[in-house]
Chain A
Amino acid sequence: MPKQVLVTGLGIVSGIGISVQETLASLLAVKSGVGVLKYLQTNHKDIPCSEVQLSDLQMRTMLSIPDSVPMNRTSLLGILAAKNALANANIIPDRALRIGFISGTTVGGMEKSEQYYKDFLENDKYNEYIKIHDCGACTEIIADYFGGFSYVSTISTACSSAANAIVLGSNLIKQGILDCVVAGGTECLTKFHLNGFKTLMILDKVQCRPFDANRAGLNLGEGAAYIVLESEESIKSRNAKVLCKVSGYGNACDAYHQTASSPDGKGAALAMQYALDMSGLIPSDIDYINAHGTGTTNNDESEGVAIMNVFGITIPPVSSTKAFTGHTTSASGSVEAIISILAMQEGFLPPNLNFKNQIEKLSFAPVSELRQNVKINHVMSNSFGFGGNNTAIIFSKLQEIK
């Protein structure tokens, strides 16, 4: 009998809040975090994005990290979210616990590197920042803030990174290698990827409109989110409170194009099917899909077709919450996992904002208004990254597992 993977803690910071409570309040108040850039220094201030409403200095103060310690925004966001997750789970990392930390990021320390790059090449002024440019170094900054982790790793698969971190964490627990894993991702806004997405011409000039026939692109966001995954034995030994279960997951590659998804969404469909197969659930068991739904012409149609192919005539309520948080790229898998779990716990369907007209090719429209008092036993969260990296995760309420 394979081991169960249970969720015992959540921690999230994004443009809609710096805690789980704030995030929930924003979702229920239908309050988006997409707006005018305040913290990122760029020539493209006209591009609407969702920023975490904290300066680096404010985060350093909250975390008691002195100015003298080299730090980047990705790591600061990550520490904040991980701290909340650990507190929520009531865990202090300790080697005796066999606890791991797996974080997804793509920008890593780029937010500082892009400011200091000329100096990196020409002088020794910012050498400390050369050391913390790469993704792994940023993850270690977060892990070292707490100490006690015996396994630390970094996944970088663009927009599915955090979801893949949750998958890896689950596999490590199932195989009995670790008792507990803090898994998720972190990504701050950088000029690098803001300009990068701009060159792809997939940024909307206004708040994004996922699944709308007239959608014109995505809004970038930043954030960090981690969930605490734990084995049954570990939970029993410390009498921990269980929030829900990871009942299934799947990863598949579209293998079609570096940035575009295939018209039939093959990779996405496979990922969702694998997640269903692992969970032992059938499509009609899923009560809500938190879609990847970036708002780009390509993704939403491709994902929609994939959902139709997997769910047939039993398509559950679907919404994208990216008009709330923006597309938090490497963190989106865990940001949206937490939103999915909150929806399930509190019994509501987060609305897909700015939806007016159904995409012609799709047989369904997303949930466009907040719906409360909804019974949700099983929720699926989709995260699809550049390079056709597709991951789907199903979270379930405990008593409803077959």
Chain B
Amino acid sequence: MEALISELKEEIIKVLNLEGVKPEDIDNDAPLFGDGLGLDSIDALELIVLLEKNYGIKLEDPGKGREIFGSINTFAKYISENQKK
């Protein structure tokens, strides 16, 4: 799980082009959207692409995104439970 969390942080920073943000800056339980990291609906779509491309998990309903991407921990948990690759 540690390795996945670490990898996830690097990927999120890269894909969302979070300049100036380092993996250690992202708290595992902090909200990713709204007040936390300040991500928005476009970022949610990017994470859906990331989910499929890197982990083989296809999310049909973008509405579920907010829940799954709630925090790094919820994100990592979802991946470990649903990963196909």
CB distance A201 to B45 under 8 Å?
Answer: yes
CB distance B41 to A260 under 8 Å?
Answer: yes
> 8 Å CB contacts to B: which residues of A248-290?
257-260
Tell me the count of chain A residues lying within 8 A, CB to CB, of chain B: 7
The answer to whether A200 has its CB under 8 Å from any CB of chain B is yes
Q: Which of A199, A201, A258, A259 has the largest count of B CB atoms less than 10 A from its CB?
A: A201
The answer to whether B20 has its CB under 8 Å from any CB of chain A is no
Tell me the count of chain B residues lying within 8 A, CB to CB, of chain A: 7
The distance from the CB of B17 to the nearest CB of chain A, in whole angstroms, is 15
- A258 touching B62 in the complex, CB below 8 Å, given contacts A199-B49, A201-B48: no
CA–CA, A200 to B48, complex, Å? 10
Beta-carbon nearest neighbor of A298 in chain B? B41
CA–CA, A200 to B42, complex, Å? 8
CB distance A201 to B42 under 8 Å?
Answer: no
CA–CA, A323 to B1, complex, Å? 47
- As a 0/1 sequence over residues 30 to 47 of chain B, the CB contacts with chain A under 8 angstroms (1 = contact) are 000000000011100100
The distance from the CB of A299 to the nearest CB of chain B, in whole angstroms, is 14
Question: Which residue in A201, A259, A260 is a CB contact (below 8 Å) of B62?
Answer: A201
Q: Which of B40, B41, B48, B49 has the largest count of A CB atoms less than 10 A from its CB?
A: B41
The distance from the CB of A318 to the nearest CB of chain B, in whole angstroms, is 26
Contact partners of B45 in chain A: CB under 8 A = 199-201
Sorted nearest first, the 10 A-B pairs with minimum C-beta distance are A201-B62, A201-B45, A260-B41, A200-B45, A199-B45, A199-B49, A259-B42, A201-B48, A258-B42, A257-B40
Extra 10 A-B pairs, beta carbons < 8 Å, given A200-B45, A201-B45: A199-B45, A199-B49, A201-B48, A201-B62, A257-B40, A257-B41, A258-B42, A259-B41, A259-B42, A260-B41
